Amino acid sequence: MSAPQTTLSQRIRDEIEGLIRSGVWPPGHKAPSEAELMAQYGCSRMTVNKAMSALAEAGLIVRRRRAGSFVARPRVHSAVLDIPDIQAQVLARGETYAFVMLDEGRRAAESDEEAELARGQDLLVFRGLHVAAGRPFALEDRLIALAAVPEAADADFASEPPGAWLLHHVPWTEAENRISAVGAEPEAARLLALDEGAALLAVERRTWRAGEPVTWVRQLFPGEAYDLVARFGPAR
């Protein structure tokens, strides 16, 4: 048994996908041309083309004739649950947006769950309030793993809130959303200017890049003020 159980075009695709997902090829990076790849892998152009076309269809690269193939900017979202960038959403509705940082710090993990995220290093801890049109829109608690994103230690989260900063700097590869409804606790009610016990939409999200946990976030939205919309349709 000599042949690997994967095909050549699949192998090319996987290797390049690995380079992209791991960040070795950052967004905007120019990939080798098909001619270069066919020399590198010793195969025909059709084989290379199949791999690259698949990557393009998957949205990982953007191809432009004559110019070449480039690693795509992290898709803000691949058409799935559209909740990542609250700032962009609010601005898209034509409302003013502000992020009020309530608390900001750096500490070690304090629970098993946090330890899984921290992976031996410190966590950045945030609590902030998203404000749309002058009214509280969402209360956010966030942890960022410095183990996964060391450059976050030097980021300026006054100019760009942590969620947006991450979205623009760290492409994620996996995410898990947990959505539920909860009654407002006293402090949350106060910060969101609601009555205690009011229905809140709670979105808890964990995000990974290439299997490595990056961030955990919990956002609380006033139930009446926010609808989460997810639309699934034909592929194109």
Partner DNA sequence: CGCGCGAATATGTCTATACATATTGAACCC
Partner DNA sequence: GGGTTCAATATGTATAGACATATTCGCGCG
Considering only 35, 179, 185, 190, the residue that binds a second copy (CB under 8 A) is 179
Phi, psi of 76 (to 5 degrees): -55, -35
DSSP 120-159: TS-EEEEEEEEEETTEEEEEEEEEEETTT-GGGGG--TTT
- With CB under 7 A as the contact rule, which of the stretches 14-22, 38-46, 97-105, 179-187 interacts with DNA? 38-46
Q: Quick one: DSSP state of residue 150? A: G
193 contributes a contact to a second copy by CB under 8 A:
no
Phi, psi of 191 (to 5 degrees): -65, -35
d(CA 10, CA 75): 23
Interface mask (CB under 8 A) for a second copy, residues 135-174, using x and -?
Answer: --------------------------------------xx
If contact means CB under 5 to 8 A according to the sort of partner, which of DNA, a second copy, none does residue 176 touch? a second copy
**Positive/negative CA dihedral, 24, 18, 26, 51:** positive
197 contributes a contact to a second copy by CB under 8 A:
yes
43 contributes a contact to a second copy by CB under 8 A:
no
- With CB under 8 A as the contact rule, which of the stretches 85-93, 109-117, 125-133, 199-207 interacts with a second copy? 199-207
Interface mask (CB under 7 A) for DNA, residues 7-26, using x and -?
Answer: xxxx----------------
147 contributes a contact to DNA by CB under 7 A:
no
d(CA 186, CA 155): 32
Our CB check for DNA shows the closer of 3 and 158 to be 3
Considering only 23, 27, 43, 147, the residue that binds DNA (CB under 7 A) is 43
Tokens of residue 206, six digits: 């964990």
Residue 86 burial by Cβ neighbours in a 10 Å radius (0-12, 13-18, 19+): buried
Considering only 20, 25, 34, 140, the residue that binds DNA (CB under 7 A) is 34
47 contributes a contact to DNA by CB under 7 A:
yes
Residues forming beta bridges with residue 208, ordered by sequence position: 174, 213
User: Taking the CB of residue 31, how many other CB atoms lie within 10 A of it?
Assistant: 21
Binding site for DNA (CB under 7 A): 3, 7-10, 31, 33-35, 42-47, 49-50, 52-53, 56, 63-69
Chain residues binding a second copy by CB under 8 A are 21, 54, 57-58, 78, 80-81, 173-183, 197-202, 221, 223-224, 226-235
